[in-house]
Amino acid sequence: MKTPAIQFPNTSQQEFVLELRKRIFDYFEENNISKYGNSTMFLKTAFMFSLYLAPYFLMIFSVVTNPLILFFLWVTMGFGMAGIGLSVMHDANHNSYSKNQTVNKVLSYSLNLLGGFSSTWKYQHNTLHHHYTNIEGHDEDIDAGKALRLSPNKPRYKFHRFQHFYAWFLYSLMTLMWTTSKDFKQLYRYSKEGVLLGRKSTYGKLLMELIVSKVFYYSYILLIPILVLPVAWWMVLLFYLSMHLICGFILTVIFQTAHVMPGAQYPVPDESGTVENNWAIHQLLTTTDYAPGNSLFSWFVGGLNFQVEHHLFPAICHVHYQKIASLVKQTARKYNLPYRVESSFFQAIGSHFKMLRMLGR
């Protein structure tokens, strides 16, 4: 059975939505700017891929052989892996990287290069998370099984009292789960639910694509390094795990500090599946920005510190979020709607820590 659809009352509070859309669209038209990526986006793409691939080739071609330096190269790959995910793959899977949809499709497969699977990720993120943000049973980003309680609408167990301490380690395991079991479990579950992941793809084709993708990934990221690097196989495995722990931690913290925060709402649909507010206001109620003045941080995390803007306009490339943030904030304040923002990333981390503790107790 498919995930039950949630209904948003589109006939209510439309003045805010209409004015906000007009102001954003006017901004691009008046400044003669495309909503897609620009030259800075292309330079960033080259940088992030270099950050990931350059260390790999330095190792594979024996330019570097010292074990300690090899470790730091794998650490660098972890940052590069996160950079590709945040700044390239994410926009490509939202079709906002380029006006050319072929470019978006090709770059969306950068997730497969990193060990994930674009087809299932796109449904989990674009459909479930973006449409049903913070709605228990629909938004899989707040579903960590029994290990973590990321929603007040989930059952609470005694061990959740300590989740504000152990959650950070579990966050670091996210991409390792991608590369092992999660993609297979999601594909199987979506198949049983009858979810359509592609107009021309059957689940048999998707499963074969997933298997081939994993074989390719493990061949280049583990098998070749084990065969050619001048260190023991278990050291390569430790280096590999270190890369994933760094990347998983960065990715998860960036996203969780945007939604699992004090003041964020977790709407509960009524019996008909209808929530109280329209979709745009729902995004304001469930999402938080942070570090809006830190341009370097925003550059690395793909503008995802502007999660409010991203959730309201996912079809706009992230390079524009900092510019349109003031328009979103002004319009929200005009209609007495919340616009939540933390002044720094560390403040957002602290608030997320408090929210984990509150949910655990």
Average pLDDT, the chain: 94
Q: Please compute the mean of the pLDDT values over residues 329-350 and round it to a whole number.
A: 96
Closest to 7 measured CA to CA, from 143, 126, 135, 122? 135
pLDDT higher than 80, residue 251: yes
- With the C-alpha atoms ordered 195, 197, 202, 207, is the resulting torsion angle positive or negative? negative
Which of helix, strand or coil describes residue 267?
coil
Q: Could you please report the per-residue DSSP string of 25-43? A: HHHHHHTT--SS--HHHHH
Task: Tell me which residue of 85, 141, 87 sits closest to 114, measured CA to CA.
Answer: 85
Q: What is the mean pLDDT of residues 191-213?
A: 88
pLDDT digits (tens, 9 = 90+) for 315-337: 999 999 999 999 999 999 999 99
Q: What SS3 class is residue 305?
A: coil
Amino acid letter at 50?
Answer: S
Q: What is the pLDDT of residue 113?
A: 96
Q: 């090709």: which residue's tokens?
A: 106
| Predicted pLDDT at 124 | 94
The tokens for 311 are: 């959730």
Contact 46, 53 (CB under 8 A): no
In whole angstroms, what is the distance from residue 97 CA to residue 34 CA? 11
**CB count in 10 Å sphere of residue 81:** 26
Question: What integer pLDDT is reported at residue 274 of this predicted model?
Answer: 86
Confidence band (pLDDT; 50, 70, 90) for 7?
A: confident
CA–CA dist 4, 6 (Å, integer): 7
CB 176 within 8 A of CB 248: yes
Residue 140 has pLDDT above 90, yes or no: yes
Phi, psi of 333 (to 5 degrees): -65, -35
Q: CA 9, CA 275: separation in Å to the nearest integer? A: 7
Give residues with Cβ within 8 angstroms of 359, minimum separation 6. 149, 150, 151, 152, 156, 160, 163, 260
Pick from 182, 193, 183: nearest CA to 145: 182
Non-local (6+) Cβ contacts of 309 within 8 A are: 289, 303, 316, 321, 324, 325, 328
Q: How confident is the model at residue 4 (pLDDT cuts 50, 70, 90)?
A: low
Section 166-177 average pLDDT: 96
Predicted confidence band at 12 (pLDDT cuts at 50, 70, 90)?
low
CA 81/CA 91 separation, integer angstroms: 15
Is the pLDDT at 2 greater than 50? The verdict is no
The mean pLDDT value for 51-55 works out to 98
pLDDT at 10: 75
Torsion of Cα atoms, 267 then 93 then 26 then 15, to 10°: -20
Residue 96 pLDDT greater than 70, yes or no: yes
